[in-house]
Structure 1
Amino acid sequence: MTTISPITADDRPAWDALWQGYLTFYESDVPAEVSESTFQRILADDHIHGALARDEQGHPIGLVHWLTHPATWTTKVYCYLEDLFVAPEARGQGVGESLIGHVRDWARVFGATKVYWLTADDNATARSLYDRVATSTGFVHYEIELQP
């Protein structure tokens, strides 16, 4: 049985391994200071929140990060699920769905009106899960990279 719990300072090595797996999956890299800042902000549990999934033996097998923000279409907030990763050996066992469910339940208690996220268009495996647990909005994502 998978358990989900908030990330703690003691989880740093496990979080690092999963975080690096996530970045590798998306063929990305972030500077060490960004990873350090991200972890510290997750621990502060103020703007960015995080949880780990663990297997029956207590080994970390997945992570999720999320945040809330005000919105113009509601007087409440939206919840943005920013990062979701399940270790390759744990995929297909319901871990991703459990992590999404954890964020959904947290957001409901927090008072958010919806949970939303983005994924790569060609991420067919993840999208099959997302199609089961959420509604595709049909929107296309654009962004402008701003350099300091």
Structure 2
Amino acid sequence: MRVLAIDPGVSLGWAVVAPNEIPQFGEISLKGRLDPKYLHVTDRHAAYFDRCTGAVVHLIEEHCPECLLVEEMAGRMLGEAARILPGLRAQVLCVGRRRELLTIEVNNASWAKWARRHGYVKADDGSDARWMAEYWLEHELRNVREAA
């Protein structure tokens, strides 16, 4: 099963992972050419959300995943992150469901704990998404197959 994993943030981490394929992963900046920090706060958030939606649609069209994984928001968020991250997560979930993809949230503590035992070192949001996808394929895919 080919999965597209998304780590929501102003730097949107993504990874495409499938058995017997080399994982592809990276980051997409949602800031764009006009840095949103100069926009009014509501315009800035709208710009991030719009760019997030466009980026996820592009990734789905380019890689044709069978499943969309989204990192679950857990823990305490402060400041700007508390206002932006839930909206970015919602945008990703909406795109996945509109495309009728199997869309699943992955607990960040679970994949991170597993990944650290397998040599994970925090590098960037793209590698986070790759580790999350690898974890899900190894531990959670069988639950989806059993339910089907």
With normalisation by structure 1, the TM-score equals: 0.32
Higher fraction of helix:
2
With normalisation by structure 2, the TM-score equals: 0.32
Higher fraction of strand:
1
